[in-house]
Structure 1
Amino acid sequence: MNAISRFFWFCSGVHISTLEKHSTEQNKYIGIGATIFFTGLFAALSGGYAMYFVFKGAEGAVFFALFFGIIWGLAIFNMDRYIVSSINKSASTNKQILQATPRILLAIMIGIVISRPLELKIFDKEIKERLKVSYLNNQRSNIDTLNAAFENKYAIEMGKLNDAKAQRDSMASAIKTDRQKLNFEIFGNKTTETSGVMGYGPYAKRKEAELKQREQNLDTLTADVRTLEKFIDSRKQFDGLMTEKLYTGKQLDSLANIAGFADRNWALGQLSFNRDGSRDTSTYLAVTFIGLLFIFFECLPVFVKLMSSRGPYDNSVENIEIAQEYESDKDKDFEIAAIDGVHDTRVSTEIEKRKNQLYE
């Protein structure tokens, strides 16, 4: 426990030998040091997780994640340690608040940076589902865009093909109808257009000849349609339309698993909205409060230092600083006096003044 306490004292940035003389202050700085330590730990986890996505798929992804996570965690730890230790409790309340304001703003920025990668991990499943929907919609949009561009590029050929198909279908329908009428005429079915007399007479023979000619024309038109379709298919193959297909379930899972940091960050932002564009209040509040929690946790050491009253440890530190300043000024003044060859009365007066202040 003694080793752990001294470690947390170190984390809080206190003067350990001075703090050991004041047992009533020790627990306070253990709490401050522990908060700073765990803030650095969360920063290491956050930075390592973010870097893992940057190098995901590479052989050294885990190594780079661990290395950057340690560096980032130590950097945040050192910054928090400096922020807390630099607040001067001997100053007035307004001055302490003024000193802490830029540090709190910096802590808020650090909290935002730390919280984002951890939020990505917390909402990992929801992010993957949103990415799948996004990738599928994007693929469908790409296919529609390619088709629209192709139709615009080959508008004349597509127009000829559509006209030929319409003419073929119309001719085939008319031939089918006339073939049925011819059968009615041959088998003696009475209609408004047939005589009702069974047999293969001159009228039937003439209709048969006409139908054969029209069927030949239909065959020619069908061949033209096939030629145009073959040309259009070759152009689609050349422009890449034939290879563009909607993603399967396995492909969507694979894309979501290898998604980069930017895509996952975008998907996390989209979780706060429903598919119709309305805000999803529950998810929005969950994401917001998780971020605020990390921001508050990052600012907590500064708040604890500000809220804590001035104690014996702070008085001892101030006395040590005054003594060090006194010794420094004393050495400097004697050096100046030695150089001038005269012991200035004002120097002695100032030294005595500082000495009395220290003893008081």
Structure 2
Amino acid sequence: MLKKFFILCSGSDSDILETCSNGEQNKYAGIGATVFFTAVMAFIASSYALFTVFDNAFIAIGFGLVWGLLIFNLDRFIVSTIKKRDRFLDEFIQAIPRIILAIIIAIVISKPLELKIFEKEINQVLLEQKNELTLANKDQIAQQYNPKITDLNNEIAGLELQILAKNEEVNKLYDIYINEAEGTAGTKLLGKGPVYKEKRDKHDVGIVELQELKTENKAKIAGLETQISELESNYNSRVIATQPIISSFDGLMARVTALNELPWLPSFFIFLLFLAIETSPIIAKLLSPKGTYDYKLEDSESAIKTWSERNVKERQVLLKTDIEINNKVYNDIADEEELYNYKRKKARELMQLQADAFMQKQQQALK
């Protein structure tokens, strides 16, 4: 049962193969088994690749099954269309397009399995890429907010400098009226005279102005700090909102790109393995000698070809003979006097009718 199934997979003529030896049947059963298991590998590879895209096992298995059947049909077609010839060069020439197609299929099958085999290494590359994208994303978003935050901080620094400058001014007024009272500066008279009172009043006015400036600037600073907090909050919100996009940066294309950044030699060996599997039925057919099945298949095809060519030639001869007989018959009839007189009479009647019809049209035109 299993042998018949693999023979069916090989694309060979089972009726002809049943009349061949067991060795010939086993050869084509082995070719069919290779075709079948290649399709199974294609199913597994495509299912995994599609799972990374859709993240749904049922969808991935469904599409993977369709892809596996497609690869199975292509491989079966490739193997079944290679015919043994008398010269190896003729066989190789007819196999070249099929070998090219087998290489393409091997690439398509091997790539998803490479993604699975090197999954840990690919995840490490993707992690590094995600970290780089996260930092770049933060920098890009910060460029939208940092200039505004810098301007607001500069305004806060300016308001604080105003308070410091006013405080220094008040301190200087304090030193002036104290020195006046001690007699170390100003009028240099010890005691609290009119000049002392004047300078003390200026200091008291400065203190009031300082308090008012502090109150006013603190209110402004509080408003500016609120704006800075809002900008920082918006920045953090933008970073949090865009982070899931970066976190989900592990689709099929991203993984293939990450795979290309790994050393190429291991991937190349895996590709060679699948290329060998995919081309093994073709190579087996090219290298194997012409067997009983090939001779019987050639005999069956040549018999049909000979029968078809014979029928075509017979129809051509029949047509040629029929034309020659018809020509001879018409030549013989052309010499008969009775037929000549009859056609002459009919031709005269036809010409008379034409003349009468022409005359009637001319008369109607003149009326």
Report the TM-score, using the length of structure 1 for normalisation. 0.69
> Is 1:287 the counterpart of 2:267 in the alignment?
yes
| C-alpha deviation, 1:301, in angstroms | 1.6
Aligned residues between the structures: 307
Shift of 1:219: 4.7
Letter aligned with residue 241 of structure 1: Y
- Cα deviation for residue 171 of structure 1 reads 7.0
Aligned match for 2:61, one of 66, 88, 93: 66
* CA distance in 2 between partners of 1:12 and 1:28 (Å): 10
After superposition, residues 1-360 of structure 1 pair within 5 angstroms as: 3-20=1-18, 21-56=20-55, 61-152=56-147, 154=148, 158-159=150-151, 161-167=152-158, 214=210, 217-235=213-231, 237=233, 240-245=234-239, 255=248, 259-269=250-260, 271-272=261-262, 283-341=263-321
| Structure-1 separation of matches of 2:205 and 2:268 | 82
AA matched with 1:224: K
Q: 5+ residue gaps in structure 1?
A: 182-200, 273-282, 343-360
Q: Taking structure 1 as reference, are residues 286 and 172 closer, same or farther at Cα in structure 2, changes over 3 Å only?
A: farther
1:153-174, Cα deviation, whole Å (9 max, x unpaired)? x3xx733x33334346667888
Report the counterpart of residue 186 of structure 1 in structure 2. none
Distance 1:204 1:287, change over 3 A: farther
Instruction: Quickly say closer, same or farther: Cα 1:241–1:91, change in 2 above 3 A.
Output: farther
Q: 2:226, 2:159 → 1: CA distance?
A: 16
Deviations 1:182-235 (A, max 9, x none): xxxxxxxxxxxxxxxxxxx98999989867765654454333222222234335
The residue type paired with residue 251 of structure 2 is G
Question: 2-side partners of 1:104 and 1:135: how far apart?
Answer: 40
Indicate how the Cα distance of structure 1 residues 124 and 177 shifts in structure 2: closer, same or farther if over 3 A, else same: farther
Give me the whole-angstrom Cα distance separating, in 1, the residues matched to 2:211 and 2:274.
80
Using the TM superposition, give the Cα deviation of residue 68 of structure 1 relative to its aligned residue in structure 2, in angstroms. Answer: 1.7
**Partners of 1:339 and 1:284 in 2: how far apart?**
68
Deviations 1:73-130 (A, max 9, x none): 1111111111112122124211211111111111111111111222222222333333
Q: Which range is displaced more, 205-214 or 88-97?
A: 205-214
**Contact 1:139–1:246 under 8 Å retained in 2:** no
Match of 2:116, as an amino acid?
K
Change (3 A) 1:179 1:39: farther
What is the CA–CA distance in structure 1 between the aligned matches of 2:61 and 2:157, rounded to whole Å?
A: 67
State the one-letter code of the partner of 1:298: E
Distance 1:204-1:34 versus aligned 2 partners, 3 A rule = farther
Is contact 2:8-2:32 (8 Å) kept? yes
Q: Is the 8 A contact 2:156 2:224 kept in 1?
A: no
- In 2, distance between residues paired with 1:324 and 1:299? 31
Please give the per-residue CA displacement for 1:118-153, whole angstroms capped at 9, x wherever unaligned: 22222223333333332332222122111112335x
- State the alpha-carbon separation in 1 of the partners of residues 30 and 135 from structure 2: 55
More helix by share: 2
CA distance in 1, matches of 2:200, 2:155: 30
Q: Distance in 2 between matches of 1:100 and 1:305?
A: 10
The one-letter code sitting in structure 2 at the alignment partner of 1:87 is I
Structure 2 contact 134–246 (Cα < 8 Å) conserved = no
C-alpha spacing 1:11/1:170, structure 2 compared with 1 (3 Å): same
Q: Percent identity?
A: 34
Query: Is the Cα contact below 8 Å between 1:43 and 1:114 reproduced in 2?
Result: yes
> Within 2, Cα distance between the matches of 1:296 and 1:175?
87
Partner SS for 1:14: coil
2 CA distance for matches of 1:27 and 1:16?
12
Question: In structure 1, what residue type is equivalent to 2:150?
Answer: M
Structure 2 gaps of 5+ residues are: 173-191, 323-367
